[in-house]
Structure 1
Amino acid sequence: MIITDTHTHLYSESFDEDRDEMIKRSIEQGVSRFFIPAIDSEYTEAMLQLEKDFPENMFLMMGLHPTHVKENFKDELEHVESMLGKRHFYAVGEIGIDLYWDQSTLEIQKEAFIYQIRLAKKYKLPIVIHCREAFDEIFEVLEQEKAEDLFGIFHCFTGNLEQARQAISYNMKLGIGGVVTFKNGKIDQFLHEIDLKHIVLETDAPYLAPVPFRGKRNESLYILKVLEKMAYIYGVPVETIAEITTKNSKDVFKV
């Protein structure tokens, strides 16, 4: 059984003391494909090192995270564009809009989001969207930029059924992680109405650990708890969920 974690920050400082052991634990349990989103230029070297240490398992993205869109965002976008021109990445991400932490940067977040969507189109890559308290703003941009060559993943999807269908209409898969195990997560109440062909699994480690690890450091191995919950929701074996969601990840990332 091959399990794919489509979104995990394995270069995070949270893993500095046991990174290799944690990754090997995951691989031993069948979690063997890790897609690594970017945050900003400060983490690029750590991402490249991850790939060097686990070349068969790590698949890197490049992008500027919306919470890191600051005064210097144009310099950061230059870095993103430069890296995309130097080597292959599997997606432009994670990109998007986050109004939870800072609403004052909305306009430059939108500018950075649109710029990176167009980079993804240029390089024929998927996008991986970060959306926090910004569904309307994200959908406004996607409506403007929608095209056959716009596709990707709505990472850490936490919206309602209508928003799920709208995201899918823009050629997005829904990234489902630990929130699906939360009592107040709500997405577990309607996911069965979404065809599994639209779903990929993720952890967002070290964040958003699933029950029973909620509140602790998340790691890619805990995707097994997400897998179990999804099998329960859809009424199929865990192997079926793993197989379909890994196939979906291959359709998006082309690997």
Structure 2
Amino acid sequence: MYINLHTHHPSESMHVKEIINMHASLYPESTNLNQFHSIGIHPWDIKDDHSIHVLEKWAQHPKVLAIGECGLDKSKGPDLTIQQEVFIQHIKLSEKLKLPIIIHCVKAYSEIIKLRKDLRPKQAWIFHGFNASRETMEQALRQGFYFSLGKALLKSNSKASQSLLFIPHNRLFLETDDDPQLSIISIYEKASELLKLETPQLKKVIQDNFKRLFNVN
């Protein structure tokens, strides 16, 4: 079984177990409730308080495994202060429901790492689409973060492909994110090549991480 931690495009493959991202305002009308989901408000989509109330309601559905994606983005979206206020609401809900958070982060790693250090949450925080330096990864690792890597691994000179070699296996996930043409199998094959692991070994590592973090077989 391949685990795809974060996708916007369900594969419908019997060989893939995935967490499908849903925006709070769209849940559950356009959602297959038999699949696993994360639910949150992307920082680009912050508009009003209505989505927060919907988020609180549907995050309690048994097929919702994580809060998010949510986070901070310095390149797009409302003022960072507003983004942080909404992100903190997600953090509080994560703690209340005892669900991990899947985090969108663009040019704001230091701010999010500091938030975790200051707030000391009990639930896991996962940087999705991680593509930052080994130094940033190690700073985040010291605060207990997990890392999900995707398309950037296919670029040999990417920060993700270099950082991957130093991420502890028990903190690692893989994903396809929002690319409908990207196969999770290709991400596993590339990660296996970079890590010098057989693909079945890597699948076992990530299956174990998934089971431990989300309590799902």
Residue equivalent to 2:134: 161
* Offset of residue 44 of structure 1: 3.5
SS in 2 for 1:218: coil
Aligned partner of 2:191: which letter?
M
Q: Which residue of 2 aligns with 1:172?
A: 145
**Structure 2 counterparts to residues 3-82 of structure 1, below 5 A:** 3-10=2-9, 23-24=11-12, 26-27=13-14, 30-31=15-16, 33-47=17-31, 50-51=32-33, 55=34, 58-70=35-47, 72=48, 74-82=49-57
Deviation track 1:70-121 (CA, whole Å, cap 9, x = no partner) reads 2x1x221111112234x2221111110111223x421111001011101110
Q: What is the rounded CA distance, in whole Å, between the counterparts of 2:189 and 2:98 in structure 1? A: 34
SS in 2 for 1:171: coil
For residue 226 of structure 1, the aligned residue among 187, 191, 198 is: 187
2: CA distance, partners of 1:60 / 1:231: 26
Unpaired segments of 5 or more residues in structure 1? 12-22, 207-216
Q: Which has the higher strand share?
A: 2
Give the structure with the larger helix fraction: 1
Question: In structure 1, what is the Cα distance between the partners aligned to 2:22 and 2:143?
Answer: 22
Take 1:235 and 1:65, find their aligned partners in 2: how far apart are those partners? 35
Deviation at 1:128, TM superposition (A): 0.7
Q: Which aligned segments of 4 or more residues in structure 1 are displaced greater than 2 angstroms? A: 166-172
Identity of matched residues, %: 29
Alignment partners' CA distance in 2, 1:161 and 1:179: 14
8 Å contact 1:150–1:170 — kept in the other structure? no
Instruction: Give TM-score scaled by structure 2 length.
Output: 0.91
Matched residue pairs, number? 215
Which AA in structure 2 matches 1:136? S
Distance 2:178 2:210 in 1: 18
Residue number among 240, 243, 246 corresponding to 2:204 in the alignment: 243
**TM-fit CA distance, 1:43:** 4.9
- The structure 2 residue matched to 1:150, chosen from 123, 136, 139, is 123
Matched, 1:193 2:166: yes
Name the residue aligned to 1:141.
115
Describe the SS at the equivalent of 1:179: helix
